[in-house]
Amino acid sequence: MSVVASPEESPPDSTQRIDSFNGEQSVYFVPLRWWKDAQESTPSESADKREVLYTAATTGSSYGGPMKLINNIFNSDILFDLRREGDGLQNGEMGEASVSGREFALVSSDMWLQALKWHHDDKKNEKGVKSFSAGGVDRGDVYPVQLRLSVAQETNSLAVKICKKDNSVECFRRACKIFSLDSEQLRIWDISGKTTSFFENDVSNSKDCQQQTDQEMLLELQIYGLSDSIKLKESKKEDGSPQQTNGITNGINGGTIFRFGRSNSLSFLGKAGEAGTLGLTGLQNLGNTCFMNSSLQCLAHTPKLVDFFLGEYSREINLENPLGMKGEIALAFGDLLRSLWAPGASTVAPRTFKAKLARFAPQFTGFNQHDSQELLAFLLDGLHEDLNRVKNKPYVEAKDGDGRPDEEVADEYWRNHVARNDSIIVDVCQGQYKSTLVCPICKKVSVMFDPFMYLSLPLPCTSMRTMDLTVMSADGGSLPVSLTVNVPKFGKFEDLQKALVTACSLPEDETLLVTEVYNNRILRFLEEPTDSLTLIRDGDKLVVYRLKKDVDNSPLIVFMHQKLEEQVILGKSSPTWKAFGIPLVSRLSDVENGADVENMYLKLLSSFKMPTELFTENLENPIEEDATDKAVTDGTTSVEDTNSTKVKETTESLPDPDPVLRLYLTDDRGSSIESEILKEKPVNNKSKRLNVLARWPVKELDVYDTCLLSSLPEVSKFGTKRPQETVSLYKCLEAFLKEEPLGPDDMWYCPGCKEHRQAIKKLDLWRLPEILVIHLKRFSYSRFMKNKLEAYVDFPIDGLDLSSYISYTDGQTTYRYMLYAISNHYGSMGGGHYTAYVHHGGDRWYDFDDSQVNKISQEKIKTSAAYVLFYKRLYKIKAVELRLVYERERGELGRRPKRTKLRSLGVAQPLDGSTYHSSFFIIPLLNPNTFSLHHSTGSIMALFFSPATSALLFLTLSLALYSSIDPFNHCAISDFPNFVAHEVISPRPDQVPWERDSQNSLQRSEILFQNQVQGPESVAFDPLGRGPYTGVADGRVLFWNGDNWTAFAYTSSNRSEICDPKPSALSYLRNEHICGRPLGLRFDKTTGDLYIADAYMGLLKVGPEGGLAVPLVTEAEGVPLGFTNDLDIDDDGTVYFTDSSINYQRRNFLQLVFSGDNSGRVLKYDPLAKKAVVLVSNIQFPNGVSISKDGSFFVFCEGDIGSLRRYWLKGERAGTTDVFAMLPGHPDNVRTNKEGEFWVALHCKRNYYSYIMARFPKLRMFILKLPITARIHYMFQIGMKPHGLVVKYSPEGKLVKVLEDSEGKVVRSVSEVEEKDGKLWLGSVLMNFVAVYDL
């Protein structure tokens, strides 16, 4: 273990290697008895080591009496001295371990590994256990403890300090128990020689320097064999002494007893899979590096590779290989693997490996997403070349078989290959297949035997898509027909046309017109045959019109329908025209005047006319029919009986409509009327399409079946589960091995014909490796499209039998394999997420998801996300797998250490490593003029000048002490040990506007979609005017198609049942980092792409067709995005967005608000450079961002300060910021309307409590430490009552409008304001609805 003079240079939580390349070793702290039992196995390692004995003693500077209690509150580090008793004892001369068990040993990593191996394999011959493998065995409960040492030559001792700040809470708590000096004497034998070097270095330094300075050295001990989680029965001889042959005993503080058995199963000190278990270490995602982490975890658990890289692999590095990388890739991978397997390792950040990778493989530079299999292929090849044992490669000429036996030719090829390529990778991972080419002309046969590192197997499955459409006649001769067709999933419109022609049995004189209908109008005509079918979303509604072929290219006439309906607004009813039904289309031929147009329309409607009998019954019961028609045309069904009186009142409340049908010329949306079409007047049309709006009187509409006219299915009903394609792994292998002709671009030069031929190729497996890597070819590429196959591959776990697929067998090698790792890919092309499943002995599997490592059942590892499979060979001789068994024996247990009490205050001082903070006003109270302490009968007494002052100060001191130690962890920041309260420079009350909306205008808002959306933070409309779109709490982006909400996009590929609907928006906080949380939404008006700011996934983009969003950037200037919040897009495609904090995630937004954290950033994403740069940093909760109408600047919200800040993009002030406006509250998002004004959504109004808390961080810290929940603090922050508030500012920054609901009766919270068509759409991250306010 390295020792450094400046501890700051070595982070205490950094993971250390077991045995680094430069020979540096870790130091292990183990029970002496355990070491002595295994000492016989390591004589060579310890023969030259002096065994130095140290006894621990309390440091002379320790406080005693009552001051010791005060010192424990404010400085609870562990301080003691290690006095050197002697260093003359040679190995083997130490005495027997004491009965108390308070004797320990310091050993090097090599000694520890050999001792561990000895304990593991002591009875292997008797039990038949296979040899010890460092890569395949859990090594028990190992955790690091950081010690600060300083040498005292005059006393021949080491001063030891164990600081809380250097260690994790759990490790410090354990250290308190191990190094406690309150009971029995503690003796430590140093067998590693590390402490001797401290004294020697100290003497050397003192000779070189006249004035010796106090210098602390940092030593990290790897604690093994000591855990408070295990309580084992003490094993004694008949005379009461501990057993020496079967185990060791070790007590801590005279309490818990430990025993380590000498058998083929180690008594294990932690539960399998807990954080201390070796090998179960996550890798930090550095920004779209999940592909790399997935492959690395699979390789890091490949048995022989682990053993190789944990050994002396550096001796095999080939520095002379011109094809290699000077050993740098091998060293980087070896160091990384050792870090992953290091005792006590936490999450590892593979930055060094990533840098080496980018240096030698530029395709992996940056932070774009890549293919895990491509990385795996490069890494295996790079490791092979760096570790190639062949220094000078001989020249080898490949020879054809020429009729020789295949066995002879194959062996010759393999010998030639190994003569040039000999490494651990070749030994473990490389196999050989037979390649046969047959000329189709001269029948020349060519046989070659080539090596392979992995098998890339195709997936023999189809890729079709089922689409539902509605077919309409163009002459009114038939009713609409629902039609289902199968088309290629990634085909073109011409494929859909062909499928429709076949399904409709279309005659030669007809043609088809395919359209998309949205909101009762034709949104677009699908006429371009080369367009991709991926542009058609599952939620779209397609209508196909059968038209007569027209050689004269007559224009089309499109009829849209409206009817008069009653709408209730603010309690008053008013009539309004509402669109309904499917548009009708025909050819505009033989039409001269308005009467011809009306006749054509009525003819198209003739098939929807109801039978005469039914119509007569409706005339006899007009009230009942009216009620039924209203329910049908509204698209709703009523479960309540409606009485005739009520319906009659409704009918009478409507004004008398026109008694006749009227037709009007309109635009393609049917939103504006140009002129009325009169029967006697001619119709002039010069465009390709004539749009006609039909407005129906109520009574005449009763003749037609409007329900049938309005029925329109979606292309694919959302939520409908289709059977997933399943294919066996053996079928994939058969597809790989079957004969197939070479492609035109891969023709073979036939030596018989002397020409290039499209030969027939056949592959056969000839020699299989010990580790078989199988790559499933889920991705395919072409000039026009990219595709991923989502088929479920059924692969064996314990018994992959390839004996029937191998062409040559030697009768000795087995061809059965067991799965031990899987690289998974979730999502679609161009995005998604990679994880790894790894087998860890027995039936235990673990899910490695970047830094997260969780246990997973074996039944769940087979999914359609499996991408790369890792198999290891099973041997015929049954091997007994070594397991480390956690044994917890019942028996005589010592008492748990008691908690020290401050009796006078009744507050417990826990020994759990929690930090004690002094409050900001407790120090002035410790003044000898006003406060004194003395010790009397074991209590602390406070003496003050007067009883009143004494009581007040006692209460203040009690609150301060409680706030300092928070003994019950009930405060709002108990889960945030590094919480810091920052000052917020909030403006004075006279600097902010206090205008109010006395009318509470927002109470007149209409509540839409209640309980249909949870937490609709952002509201957006696409370039075609469709929408709204909104991001909700379960991680989806929803789209309102006019009838219902459909899932448009996802930001996370890790969706599961934990993302299912929950009762409130806050219920999702716990799993937001898994499901995603889309906050900001903006459409690119040019491309139609939707850009998403997701709080956890960063900045993403999804095409107009929707689906899984593709990450664009997850870091900026080397710092990951912590809380991506909002965005806006400039005309040139540049994206400006905010990162609210790099220290707090959105699920901790309350703590972010409480802290005043100033790590927020405003950033710019360049779509050409594909990277983000920081424009403004050190901001307190930046949130909304919006570009001005002229593009000269953008504004962004400063949530904590409550201001709108301007960043100049153009002009002399470009690149600078200034205050645009001080706001009357704390802002969330900001949006620009068409006039260039800025609508700002305010989370809450300012109040004096939030002002005081902002300006006095110490007071805020004190209050936050009191046992008050975060929710109550939040209510104080917003003024105790949720309320809605939005304001509008002019382009010059002047307040022009205030709208609020101060009582929170209708709009309780507003996160965003989007103005569209004279209405304000109000979204809220906390509410379950969208509110609409009519301007």
- Report, as residue numbers or ranges, the catalytic residues: 290, 833
Identify which of 1285, 1076, 1243 has the alpha carbon closest to the alpha carbon of residue 1153. Answer: 1243
Distance from C-alpha of 7 to C-alpha of 12, rounded to nearest angstrom:
8
Angle at 1269 between CA 1266 and CA 1274, to 5 degrees: 105
- Positive or negative torsion for Cα 478, 482, 485, 489: positive
Distance from C-alpha of 958 to C-alpha of 951, rounded to nearest angstrom:
10
Whether the CB-CB separation of 41 and 35 falls below 8 Å is answered with no
Give the other-Cβ count within 10 Å of 995's Cβ.
11
Strand, coil or helix: what is 639?
Answer: coil
Question: Which amino acid, 588?
Answer: L
Helices (H), 637-728: 644-653, 698-701, 706-710
Distance from C-alpha of 584 to C-alpha of 476, rounded to nearest angstrom:
9
Distance from C-alpha of 367 to C-alpha of 358, rounded to nearest angstrom:
10
Task: Tell me which H or E stretch contains 956.
Answer: helix 947-965
Distance from C-alpha of 711 to C-alpha of 726, rounded to nearest angstrom:
35
N-term to C-term CA, the chain = 71
Question: Which amino acid, 1147?
Answer: R
Whether the CB-CB separation of 324 and 318 falls below 8 Å is answered with yes
Strand, coil or helix: what is 142?
Answer: strand
Beta bridge partners of 105: 30, 189
Backbone angles phi, psi at 771, to 5 degrees: -110, 115
Identify which of 614, 1300, 637 has the alpha carbon closest to the alpha carbon of residue 997. Answer: 1300
Q: For the chain, what is the radius of gyration of the CA atoms?
A: 39
CA atoms within 13 A on the CB side of 681: 10
Backbone angles phi, psi at 34, to 5 degrees: -60, -40
Q: Would you call 1200 exposed, middle or buried from its count of C-beta atoms within 10 A (0-12, 13-18, 19+)?
A: buried
Which pair of tokens denotes residue 434? 């037979």
Residue with tokens 């100049």: 1208
Task: Tell me which H or E stretch contains 1083.
Answer: strand 1078-1083
Identify which of 1250, 1226, 1244, 1228 has the alpha carbon closest to the alpha carbon of residue 1281. Answer: 1244
Tell me how far CA of residue 381 lies from CA of 304, 388, 454, 1204, in angstroms. 17, 10, 11, 54
**CB-based burial, 211-238: b 16+ in 10 Å, e otherwise:** eeeeebbbbbbbbbbbbbebbbebbeee
Backbone angles phi, psi at 1259, to 5 degrees: -65, -40
Distance from C-alpha of 765 to C-alpha of 801, rounded to nearest angstrom:
13
Residue with tokens 């070349």: 385
Identify which of 542, 510, 561, 593 has the alpha carbon closest to the alpha carbon of residue 691. Answer: 561
Identify which of 260, 253, 241 has the alpha carbon closest to the alpha carbon of residue 98. Answer: 241
Identify which of 1204, 1164, 1194, 1162 has the alpha carbon closest to the alpha carbon of residue 1179. Answer: 1162
